Amino acid sequence: MKEQGFGFRVSGFGKNKRASLSWAVYDRFLAFPCGLGVLFVLFILGGSNGGFGAEADAALKPEAGEQALAGQAKAAALEEIAAAFRRRPAVRARLEVSVHDELLGPRRETGELALLRPRFLRRRFLQPTEKIWLFNDNRIYEYAPARRLVRVTDLRNAPRTAGLLHAALFFEPEALAEHFSLTVFKKEGTEAGAPARLRLVLLHRSAAKQGAAEKNSEKRTAEQETEKKKDWADLLPQHRLQARWTAGAALFDELEYQPKAGDRTVERYTEIRDDLSLTAKDFAPLWPAGTVEKVEPVADPPGGETKKAEKQD
């Protein structure tokens, strides 16, 4: 199932309508990453399970001047990012989103971001078409002024889905690591006193395992793989997310989202600044009179408890 709405691309998954709504939530979220940017993160487009081949391999290798971090150094780098975000909870920035369409060429949108961790995030696009994407605790609002329409994704009955989205939007590395492999690279400043740069690559764990297995064995069909899934998150469509961060910054300044199949999206943040005047009222879902509200309740996809819950049993 594919749906075009408000300029956001949405891909469904399978024939289960309730599950498809959840994949749609991930898709809309990942097409506009934030916490990993403030993500966005990060991150997911539908399709069959599998690895990314050469593209993923290239992303998982150091770039010029980088070194891969592991063990305590990696954990310290992730905590450094999380701590910087905690110290700067109220942030504004200019954003630019570029979608690299092989057929139609690049598409560019610009706007502004307002963030109040850990519960609120608003993305207002101004060019070429005005629209608003608002995350308000456990609801996502997509507003198209020209159509006088707002679509609401209600996550109140989808705690696992909401939890993973929250972990990505506001960058909670431990929660993300349950379902994604996190590779971290560091590049020291090239000039005296220049801050270091970190690059993170997130790859869904089932995609990473599948990609390694395919090098030594025949590919399994999507149906065979699905039968073996035990964790609901293993059914997530595959994607790769890359984020770049300058030490001390309140946001990731560049995010690159590459689905297993489809268009590459690059999101950049500039003019990042603290704004302690932001309050919850600035993120209230208030729309002009006459706006039609369409609500989509979401349930967690089937598949049992998360790995974290299984460990607690």
Q: H-helix or E-strand containing 65?
A: none
- What pLDDT, on the 0 to 100 scale, is given for residue 183? 94
Would you say residue 59 lies in a domain?
A: yes
Residue 310 lies in a domain: no
SS3 117: coil
Which pLDDT value is given to residue 129? 92
What's the pLDDT score for residue 308? 35
At residue 120, the 3 state secondary structure works out as strand
In a domain, 306, yes or no: no
* 139 strand-pairing partners: 136, 154
pLDDT in tens, 172-206: 899 888 878 899 999 998 777 789 999 999 887 76
Q: Tell me, what's the pLDDT at 137?
A: 84
- Per-residue pLDDT of 32-53, as tens digits, reads 434 443 333 334 322 233 344 4
Distance (Å, whole) CA 260 – CA 267: 18
Does residue 157 lie within any of the structural domains?
Answer: yes
pLDDT of residue 208: 52
Position 313 in a domain:
no
Q: What is the pLDDT of residue 21?
A: 38
Q: Measure the CA angle with vertex 91, ends 86 and 92; round to 5°.
A: 160
Helix (H) or strand (E) holding 94: strand 90-101
- Is the separation of the CB atoms in 287 and 150 below 8 Å? yes
Q: What is the pLDDT of residue 206?
A: 61
> How many domains does the chain contain in total?
1
Look at residue 45 and tell me if it is in a domain: yes
- Express the helix, strand and coil content of the chain in percent, nearest 5 each: 30, 35, 35
Is residue 225 a part of any domain in this protein?
Answer: yes
CATH number of domain containing 150: 2.50.20.10
Give domain status of residue 265, yes or no.
yes
**pLDDT at 10 (0 to 100):** 30
Structure tokens at 168: 């990505």
Ranges under pLDDT 70 in the chain: 1-58, 206-239, 260-261, 301-313
Question: Which has the closest alpha carbon to 166: 232, 120, 235, 112?
Answer: 120
Domain that holds residue 295: 2-301
Q: Residue 209: what pLDDT?
A: 54
